[in-house]
Amino acid sequence: MKRLNGKIAIITGASRGLGKAIAREFASEGATLILHASKKSSEATAMFREIKTLSPKSRLYYANFLNYHEIAAMTAQIQKDFTHIDILVNNAGIIKRKTVLTMTVDEWDDVTKVNTSATFYMTKLLLPRIIESKTGRIINMSSICGLTGEYGLSGYCTSKAAVIGFTKSLAKEMGKHNITINAICPGFTDTGMANDIQRDFFERSVGTIPLRRAGKKEEVAKLASFLCSADAGYITGQAISINGGLV
């Protein structure tokens, strides 16, 4: 039997990169997907068309994660359209490569709003419905940068470290409801976001990895699938690194 058969899973930031890979993996494992994209685009449309071939009952919703009211409206509509929610993957994120001296206040606010605040908003708004499932799973996408820091990524690293703290605290709160909450901390993974942190920097960094390659987004997706399955029922409150041995 497929490991997510019959589950309903929300994946934010699903139009590309890790979100798209997780959506494809979950659909192949039998889940019905509630997919989020920040706006209508050919990229989001193509992703949704592909997922529908694997999971015909899946739906796509749009919300700008810089705007709490759009998030609230989207989650309200989702709860009208679906009777239960089993899994939430908080994957949406943005990155700005700026030092503290060059980063503007607005840029800092945008990074923390999308990467940290939106994770809190989505979780808070959907948590009552997830509690009803009695076997809920929440995955918060963090980063190796949230564990180690990185030059020129102070805003991104701070936001991802906050996600880890949120994950550990929420796991303590939700244990009594049999809900597991874990953070995944990918290392350098070959996704579209690599272009956002400059290709030359990305390629130099790969040379420091013991396995001598970037991670594959499909590898991260399979970890997420496992953590959302019954096989991972005793794993919670963890920040799990998947980074090719980079320490």
Encode the chain (247 residues) as per-residue pLDDT tens digits: 899 999 999 999 999 999 999 999 999 999 999 999 999 999 999 999 999 999 999 999 999 999 999 999 999 999 999 999 999 999 999 999 999 999 999 999 999 999 999 999 999 999 999 999 999 999 999 999 999 999 999 999 999 999 999 999 999 999 999 999 999 999 988 876 555 555 666 667 777 888 888 889 999 999 999 999 999 999 999 999 999 988 7
Residues contacting 31, CB < 8 A, separation 6+: 4, 5, 7, 8, 9, 55, 87
Q: For the domain that residue 200 is a member of, what is the CATH number?
A: 3.40.50.720
Q: Which residues are catalytic?
A: 156
Residue 152 lies in a domain: yes
What domain range includes position 189? 8-242
- Whether residue 149 is contained in a domain is answered as yes
When divided into structural domains, the chain yields a total of 1
Residue 89 inside a domain? The answer is yes
Largest CA distance in the chain: 53
Q: Could you tell me if residue 135 is inside a domain?
A: yes
Q: What is the pLDDT of residue 209?
A: 87
Say how far apart CA 89 and CA 141 lie, in whole Å.
7
Q: Report pLDDT for 163.
A: 98
CA distances from 125 to 74, 90, 122, 143, 227 (A): 10, 13, 5, 24, 22
State CA 156 to chain mean position distance.
Answer: 14
From residue 208, alpha-carbon distances to 89, 143, 145, 187, 247 in Å are: 29, 17, 15, 11, 10
DSSP codes, 54-81? H-TT-EEEE--TT-HHHHHHHHHHHHHH
In a domain, 21, yes or no: yes
In a domain, 18, yes or no: yes
**Rounded to 5 degrees, what are φ and ψ at 98?**
-140, 140
What the block records as the tokens of 160 is 């991802």
What CA dihedral angle connects 16, 129, 61 and 17, to 10 degrees?
Answer: 0
Residue 1 lies in a domain: no
Q: Is residue 3 part of a domain?
A: no
